[in-house]
Amino acid sequence: MNQNLFHLLAEGIVDPKATAIETPDGHRLSYADILAASARMAHALVSLGVVPGDRVAAQVEKSVPALMLYLASLRAGAVFLPLNTAYTPAEIAYFIGDATPRLFVCDPAAAPKLAPVAQAAGARLMTLGADGSGTLGEAAAAGREGDFATVPRGADDLAALLYTSGTTGRSKGAMLSHGNLVSNTRALQQAWRFDQRDVLIHALPIFHTHGLFVASNVTLFSGASMIFLPKFDPAQVLGLMGRASVLMGVPTFYVRLLAEPGLDRTSTAGMRLFVSGSAPLLAETHRAWQQRTGHAILERYGMTETNMNTSNPYEGPRVAGTVGLPLPGVEVKVTDPVSGETLPQGQIGMVEVRGPNVFKGYWQMPEKTAAELRPDGFFITGDLGCFDDNGYLQIVGRGKDLVISGGLNVYPREVETEIDALPGVVESAVIGLSHPDLGEAVTAVVVPDPDHPATESAILAALAPRLARFKLPKRVLFLDELPRNTMGKVQKNQLRDRYAGLYG
Ligand code: MCA
Ligand code: AMP
């Protein structure tokens, strides 16, 4: 049986005339329109030489054509590789050099600076604008064929490759299969009671798991519709709540919405569900939201490698500060980080997960895969947690050195490597400090060269062309030396304590 995610999605369409996507400019696409548009795009991919198993990489603005590119890649049996629009050409060079895609699709305006990057990786460069312009958009529009035989795929065949930075070394491509994505979509549909009456406010980017898989796949598999916004704007989102039913967001969405004076019980009365994930939701945000709107935000927990693992219940208490219960079909255990033995309930340890949601390993990195994915199928998440008396999981910290800023992951090692290479710097430590809007703010602590000390502005200016803007430190602080333990390891906890409160 064909286990291609798109085939299963299409097979489940009950009403082809129902609206699947609408955009703020009033444009509507029915499910029949999606079938036809993704078919035309899939024909264009095939005509460009894409064969099953090929990677199709894309750094494109969030738009309906961009979503069609994702669906078309699935239909053609290709492996879709979405890339954050904030990545610099230097960052893109690594991803496409590693993944060797057949095609690299970028925004028409970015083509001149990305052409050499595509060429170096041996990828054919195509362009796709948010309005459907560009060489790929034109190729799709030229094809009249509104039908395409979706390529048969098995559950274990790859559907997507999503890069996630490692604590050491370079980013790793997490290989996600059709079976991974479909099983998680179905688990979430069931857990969150999605059906064709739902209208999702889609304000997340579509280059990560949250916006691409959780939000889009769940909506489309349910026959529901989504209001597809190019980016998150709190006033616009609030204004749409009168005719929507669900919002999915990172905690920063909820913090910013709480600053909107119009957020109250009346403006949210038609909504049935607010979901938060990708970073910890502060219990105080959860409580403030409930007081203002009467709704309890449903917090869930996931990862690029595993899709979603746990969720607070739809019916039953949604407990602030917890990420809820394992989703159907997902096993979660808390283990001793050294021995790997399961710990008794209540004890803090490493969170490990197993299930049909767990990825197939890291692209061409068997040693990294072996280090994080146990032979019995449990994936070592790098998150520290414990189960409470009611079986709810709490994430209490991270065993991995990672900063999550506005729902986007920043690996300190990557930023430190760039800073350490700059003139006037002896060494650096990059930490996350509590930030009222972003949750955590990337902050650099630098030991300057006493003879020619680097300045904050010089460091930031030098990093800007190298790193995506969300990775740039919000502040650079200077110290004569970094605190170290007897083993010589930098004590980041001491730095976090010392500068706690920097951002208010
Ligand atoms: C933008 N900037 C940021 C961030 N976003 N800085 C730090 N952290 C960020 N997240 C910078 C920009 O570079 C710019 O800097 C300035 O802030 C304002 O940019 P702007 O575009 O206006 O920002 P924004 O539109 O207000 O964006 C903030 C945001 C956005 C809405 C929170 O970052 C966002 O949509 N985050 C969601 C990310 C997400 O989908 N995560 C899910 C990953 P300058 O002024 O210097 O140019 S999937 C995942 O984690 C797992 C699987 C899971 O469980 O879901
Ligand atoms: P990513 O690499 O983008 O897949 O980020 C996954 C990481 O985000 C997880 O390993 C957690 O550290 C974090 N995360 C996601 N959801 C939550 C949540 N609800 N609470 C705390 N941390 C979360």
Distance of CA 262 to the CA centre of its chain: 29
Token reading at 477: 């602080």
Nearest CA to 137 out of 40, 243, 18 is that of 40
Q: How many helices (H) and strands (E) does the chain have?
A: 16, 24
pLDDT tens, residue by residue, 21-77: 999 999 999 999 999 999 999 999 999 999 999 999 999 999 999 999 999 999 999
Give the pLDDT of residue 488.
Answer: 87
Give the pLDDT of residue 169.
Answer: 62
Contacts of 211 (CB under 8 A, 6+ apart): 62, 202, 204, 205, 248
Give the pLDDT of residue 486.
Answer: 87
Return the DSSP state at 280: P
**Beta carbons of 17 and 220 less than 8 angstroms apart:** no
Kindly report the pTM of this predicted structure.
0.96
Helices (H), 329-383: 366-372
166: confidence class by pLDDT, cuts 50, 70, 90: low
336-to-178, 310, 369, 377 alpha-carbon distances in Å: 32, 20, 20, 17
Nearest CA to 274 out of 318, 235, 222 is that of 318
CA–CA separation, 105 and 65 (whole Å): 12
Q: Tokens 């898989």 appear where?
A: 213
- Quick check: CB of 323 below 6 Å from ligand 2? yes
Half-sphere exposure of 271 (CA within 13 A, CB side): 26
Nearest CA to 267 out of 236, 288, 298, 297 is that of 236
Ligand 2 test: best mutation among 372, 395, 400, 411, most atoms within 8 Å of CB? Answer: 395
- Quick check: CB of 208 below 6 Å from ligand 1? yes
Q: Residue 233 pLDDT > 60, yes or no?
A: yes
Ligand 2 test: best mutation among 301, 308, 323, 470, most atoms within 8 Å of CB? Answer: 301
pLDDT tens, residue by residue, 478-495: 999 999 998 889 999 999
DSSP string, 28-63: EEEHHHHHHHHHHHHHHHHHTT--TT-EEEEE--SS
CA-proximal residue: ligand 1, atom 5 (nearest): 470
Nearest CA to 131 out of 69, 210, 64 is that of 64
**Beta carbons of 380 and 332 less than 8 angstroms apart:** no
Average pLDDT of the residues of the chain: 97
Ligand 2 test: best mutation among 167, 278, 438, most atoms within 8 Å of CB? Answer: 278
Q: Residue 168 pLDDT > 90, yes or no?
A: no
Nearest CA to 52 out of 83, 21, 74 is that of 74
Q: Tokens 């019916």 appear where?
A: 315
259: confidence class by pLDDT, cuts 50, 70, 90: very high
**126/145: higher pLDDT:** 126
- Quick check: CB of 250 below 6 Å from ligand 1? yes
- Quick check: CB of 29 below 6 Å from ligand 1? no
- Quick check: CB of 352 below 6 Å from ligand 2? no
